[in-house]
Structure 1
Amino acid sequence: MIGLDTNLLVRYLVQDDQAQSRLATKHIEGGDLFFINLIVLCELSWVLQSCYGIERKRLCEVFEKILATKQFVVQNSHLAWNALHAYQSSPADFSDCLIGHINQAAECSMTLSFDKSLKNLNHFRVL
C-alpha cells in the first residue's frame, strides 16, 4: 500500500497541470492500493472549495467516489462516511463534521466550539 498526499490527489481529480496530472494518473491507475488519511480528506475539501470553487454538492460526490473506490483505503472510513453524511445535511465544513465524529468515537460527550454553523450537529455544543 502507498500513501497519497493531498497535492497528488488534487492533480488526479482536477487534471489542471499536464505533467503532474499525467504522473498522478499513471500511479493511481497503476493497480496499487493507496492509503488516504483523514487529514488528506480535510485538506482536499479545503483545496477543492477554496482554490477550485467546487460547490458543496460536487464535493460530496467526489468524497463518495473516493470512499467507494476499492483501491483507496481511507483511514477510519466509517468516520469519514459519518462526517460526509453530517456535511450533506448541515452548513458546517467537512473538517468540522469530521472533528465531531472523531471526538465522538473517542467517547467525548460533546465537542465545544464557537462556530455557529455547528449548532444543529449532535456532537457539538456551541458557546
Structure 2
Amino acid sequence: MEFIDANYILRYLLRDNANQYLKAKDIIENKPIFVPEFIFAEVVYVLEKVYAVSRLEIQTNLESLIKYPNIELNQKNVCIEALQIYSTHRIDFADALLIAYYKTMRHSKLHTFDKKILKIISAGI
C-alpha cells in the first residue's frame, strides 16, 4: 500500500504542472493507495481558498476520485457524505466530516458549541 499527499491530488486535479501531473496520474490511477481523510481536508481547503474552485466542483471531482477502486480510505462513504454536506452548507470540510461521522454512528451524541453544526444536525441532515 502506498500513500500520497495533498500535492499529488492537487496536481492530478489541476493539471497545472505537466511533469507532476503525469507522475500523479500514474500513481493515482495505477497503484493501490491509501489517503487519510485529513489529506482530503487539505485538498478541499487549497482548492477553495487558493484556486477559487466552487464547492460543487470540489465535491464532484473528489467524489469521483474517492470512488476509484484502487483508492482506500478509512470510510469512503463518510468522506463522500462529508463532501455532499460541504457542498450544500457554508461550513468547513472538517466540520462536514465531523457531521458525516456523527451520522454514521446512529446512537451517538455530538457535543459542540458551533451553531452551524448544531443547525445542520437539528435539521436532520
Same fold, judged at TM 0.5 (above): yes
Distance change (3 Å), C-alpha of 1:67 and 1:96: same
- Aligned equivalent of 2:81: 82
Where is the strand percentage greater, Structure 1 or Structure 2? 1
Distance in 2 separating the partners of 1:72 and 1:56: 22
Structure 1 position 119, deviation (Å): 4.1
Q: How many corresponding residue pairs?
A: 122
Distance change (3 Å), C-alpha of 1:67 and 1:22: closer
Deviations 1:29-87 (CA, angstroms, capped at 9, x unpaired): 3x211111100110010011111110011011012102221121122112212212322
Other structure's SS at 1:120 match: helix
Distance in 2 separating the partners of 1:95 and 1:86: 11
Residues 2-81 of structure 1 mapped to structure 2, 5 A cutoff: 2-29=2-29, 31-81=30-80
* Residue identity in the other structure for 1:8: Y
Structure 1 position 106, deviation (Å): 9.8
* Residue identity in the other structure for 1:50: K
Percent of residue pairs bearing the same amino acid type: 21
- The TM-score, its normalising length taken from structure 1, stands at 0.80
RMSD (Å), alpha carbons: 2.3
Contact 2:99 / 2:117 at 8 angstroms: preserved in 1?
no
Q: Which runs of 5+ in 2 are unaligned?
A: none
- The TM-score, its normalising length taken from structure 2, stands at 0.81
Distance in 2 separating the partners of 1:56 and 1:106: 27
Distance change (3 Å), C-alpha of 1:44 and 1:106: farther
Distance in 1 separating the partners of 2:113 and 2:50: 26
Where is the helix percentage greater, Structure 1 or Structure 2? 2
Q: Which runs of 5+ in 1 are unaligned?
A: none
Distance in 2 separating the partners of 1:68 and 1:28: 12
